[in-house]
Structure 1
Amino acid sequence: MQRRLPSVGHRRTAHWTPFPLRSLLVVHFWAPWAPQCAQMNDVMAELAKEHLQVSFVKLEAEAVPEVSEKYEISSVPTFLFFKNSQKIDRLDGAHAPELTRKVERHACSGSFPPSAAEQPKEELSVRLKKLTHAAPCMLFMKGTPQEPRCGFSKQMVEILHKHNIQFSSFDIFSDEEVRQGLKAYSNWPTYPQLYVSGELIGGLDIIKELEASDELDTICPKAPKLEERLKVLTNQAAVMLFMKGNKQEAKCGFSKQILEILNSTGIEYETFDILEDEEVRQGLKAYSSWPTYPQLYVKGELVGGLDIVKELKENGELLPILRGEN
């Protein structure tokens, strides 16, 4: 496979004539030293069996630095989606469900990217409006607050945290349509971009100016007290699991076991990675009077940890509780 990388890289910079003109092409930028890449290779192999019309290619990111730089590949695994020799989407990280969803969506979306008649610009504008209004303070950045993928985004996050500003974020690497569309929507060509109440405030330089003039604190909403924040988090979904890691990758054996139990029930649930927020990690212990993780909540009420969940499953009580029947 490594021997084929230079030729694949060459195809990507020109016309991909070896692939059918109308096919969807999924390119996995990977590294042999990253175990999550091996896992996602297995996912791709399964998807290839289900979608025979889709071409899947692995590209060792460090072996083709020019290609990686061109497509801003800063971490692995990263997946790029091409149709008609045009990049149409992107996925950063080892997110098997999201990769499956994107492959299915693009494979079934027709031979060519949607035309203007099929997907008018107005639809994208509506989506962007919803995203910019998704929280009182929205940061569109490269990466996440926990793992910024450019220096400007990192500085922006540091400023917001320093001023105890409550914000939500959107990783523009995760959606190429949003990444390009927001530039025109906001008439602002670079990232990060900060919105308050759906209105663009500006990029890093503007935020630095507002900070220097003491205006930033009056413009952006402050984070709530910890107890208020924990109440909101525990009620974020009907079933909320606070764990080490996330649905795609548990980072401790107890969290892995409870994921397996919840997945076996077929009940929808959301997770919160307590390793990414020390304030929540420590604060929730006191809030719930429960000293360990994972912790499972239903409608904002603590059910318990792994041992409790195991007992409930063995007694046949877990499913009714998750459904809110008890």
Structure 2
Amino acid sequence: MATLVEATSSQQFEDLLSKAGKFLTVVHFQAAWAPQCSQMNDVMGELAKENKHTMFIKLEAEAVPEVSEKYEITSVPTFLFFKGGQKIDRLDGAHAPELTNKVQRLSVSSGGLGGPGAEPPKEDLNERLKRLINAAPCMLFMKGSPQEPRCGFSRQIVALFKDHAIQFSSFDILSDEEVRGGLKTFSNWPTYPQVYVNGELVGGLDIVKELAESGELENTCPKAVTLEHRLKSTINRSPVMLFMKGNKEQAKCGFSLQILEIMNSSGVEYNTFDILEDEEVRQGLKTYSNWPTYPQLYVNGELIGGLDIVKELKDSGDLSSVLRGEC
């Protein structure tokens, strides 16, 4: 089986998925204009050498729009993982270690990675648990997600966090049996949910209830900042703020790349915010500013508009004045 190929049409893509059969297929939705995609292709090439039973496919996202739309590809690089023709996982962004981890884990579960008896290189479980525990100042290991808790205890602890405006991230222990079993031993705590603050175990539901009743929960766990306050603070982080997919160094969509070129030619200093890194800001800013698309440009805290508006200002010769707050 060819392990690293490029699909140039929807039909070729479907044929390759079919050809891969039960084995893992990794699809890289890329763009020629994005340097991070080229970097991730190099990573894909190395992974292909190590994973002989995994199919790696490169796909130009904008050249095959019907495939990109079907799988809701909104930025590059994006990686989709398939088994038996069905999507089983996704990774957004140029995260080489995470891509490697997913390939190793998913290829084992799909019978790949060198055939029977082959042992893949794996991240040490304790190191992985430490990384997850420290992924956010307050980490909740629960059954399900905050939006869809899958047990009564998890539902109660999420409700307590929301009632006390606690800012937290979560991990669904039902999605990973290795983490689910390993964390019990690692922390010597036999049940779920489990709460960690700054990498240290706080406890489960009963402990969180006691902290809430004593008034200590807010002092133990970080308080959430309201979304409106976050948005206002972020918009006013710089006199000229550009909310885009990617950043000054690496645009992650064609529209963002175009607006960067215009902004760079203006001679005015500006800062950027990558909306792909923060889903809360990405969705909240659309409502806050009543502007449904990105990129979005703000000057002195006020919305100027998106790419089309910035193009018009450039063509009219007014862009520099607007960026300097002179009109």
TM-score range, shorter chain: 0.3 to 0.5
TM-score, normalization by structure 1:
0.47
TM-score, normalization by structure 2:
0.47
Q: Which has the larger radius of gyration?
A: 2
